[in-house]
Amino acid sequence: MIKVKLQAKRLEKQLSQEEIADLLCMTQSTYSRKEKGITKITMGEWTKIAKVLQVEMEEIYEPAVCEKKLDTILQNQYKHIPFYLQQQIDSLLKENIELEEKLRSLKNQ
């Protein structure tokens, strides 16, 4: 699934995938696959991406464990997910991440 926090921060910084990819010494297509969650982002790459975006890694990092479980479930049930459903899923995942962050900050207060 799409790395929502990473994508949002990149867009906030007004950087294209190609610009980020160049700074990370990879092709735009390789970076795109990583941002879409198709290819795994290593911890070293998360660190480099955070440095390029000038943020703490925690601001963009999204573990792949939950996403893999969801992907497996969806792939087993549906071979092709209609685009509008994928958009809704991505939106819900983003909202879930935001709510988890709010909850975490409330617990820290």
The single-letter code of the amino acid at 3 is: K
Which of 7, 36, 1 lies closest to 20 in space, CA to CA? 7
pLDDT at residue 82, as a whole number = 76
**Of the ranges 8-12, 37-41, 62-66, the best mean pLDDT one:** 8-12
Domains (range + CATH), the chain: 4-108 (1.10.260.40)
* Rounded Cα–Cα distance for residues 61 and 86 (Å): 21
Per-residue pLDDT tens digits for 22-36: 999 999 999 999 998
- The rounded Cα 108 to chain-centroid distance in angstroms is 24
Q: pTM of the full predicted structure?
A: 0.58
Per-residue pLDDT tens digits for 51-105: 999 999 999 998 875 555 555 655 555 556 777 788 888 889 888 888 988 888 8
